[in-house]
Amino acid sequence: MTTQEIIRKISGRFPTVETTIIDGENALNVLTDKDAIVQLCAFIKNELGYDYLQFLTCIDRLDKLEIHYHLYAYASQGTIIVKTSVERVGGKIQSVAALWKAADWHEREAYDLFGVVFEGHPGLRRILLEEDFVGHPLLKDFKGKNVVVLPKI
């Protein structure tokens, strides 16, 4: 399955999804709306064979929170990066933990550090920080008592 075929298949099924090729790599960027995330991921996993969730992470874009799903297919050795975004504070998105079990801990981590709520997650609670921690440290405006912002060089 070439990259072009994958793009065709995705846009055939999800017309609103934006797909771009990353130069020099067997990789795709797939931009989607957050409501379609589970259907899109299920499609990518079950029909395109992207069976390995490398990781899932968020990027604080100040006006929104971007969520990246790095997916990999062992068969075709290609990568798809599904990107979507939610509100910065109190953002909610459907969980993909039912598709990849790996997503379980990665979603917990994203919740822990960014505060994104993954709906339908089997046990969404903090994973790296202590349970009574206040705030989500990887947000750009997080003010912890130990966070010292260094001067710009």
Partner 1 sequence: MKEDSAQDFITEEYLLNMGPQHPATHGVLRLVLRMDGENILDLVPDLGYLHRGFEKIAENRTYKQFLPFTDRLDYLAGMFNNHVYCLAVEKLLKITVPPRAEYIRVLVSELNRIASHLVWFGPFAMDLGAITPFLYAFREREMIIDLLESVSGQRLTYSYFRIGGVAQDLPDDFIVQAKAFCEYFKPKVDEYDTLLSKNIIFIKRTKNIGVLPKELAIDYGCSGPVLRGSGVAYDVRKNEPYSVYKDLSFDIPVGTIGDSLDRYNVRIEEMRQSVRIIEQVLEKLPGGEIMAAVPKVVKPAPGEAYARIEAPRGDFGFFIVSDGSDKPYRLKIRAPSFSNLSVLPELVKGLKISDVLAVFGSIDIVLGDVDR
Q: Is 153 in the site for partner 1 (CB under 8 A)?
A: yes
Q: Is 53 in the site for partner 1 (CB under 8 A)?
A: yes
Q: Is 52 in the site for partner 1 (CB under 8 A)?
A: yes
- 9-18 long-range Cβ contacts below 8 angstroms, 24+ apart: 9/47, 9/48, 10/40, 10/43, 10/44, 10/48, 13/43, 14/39, 14/40, 14/43
Among 74, 119, 122, 135, binds partner 1 (CB under 8 A): 74
Give least dist CB 66 to partner 1, A. Answer: 9
- Sheet containing 79-86: give its strands across: 18-22, 27-31, 79-86, 65-72, 52-60
Q: Is 54 in the site for partner 1 (CB under 8 A)?
A: yes
| H or E, element range at 59 | strand 52-60
Q: Is 98 in the site for partner 1 (CB under 8 A)?
A: no
Q: d(Cα 83, Cα 75) in Å, to the nearest integer?
A: 22
Of the pair 15, 141, the CB lying nearest partner 1 is at 141
Torsion sign over Cα 95, 96, 100, 105: negative
Q: Is 21 in the site for partner 1 (CB under 8 A)?
A: no
Of the pair 57, 94, the CB lying nearest partner 1 is at 57
Q: d(Cα 47, Cα 5) in Å, to the nearest integer?
A: 12
Of the pair 36, 137, the CB lying nearest partner 1 is at 137
Which residues contact partner 1 by CB under 8 A? Answer: 51-55, 57, 59-60, 68, 70, 74, 77, 79, 81, 100-102, 104-106, 109, 113, 126-130, 137-138, 140, 142, 147-150, 152-153
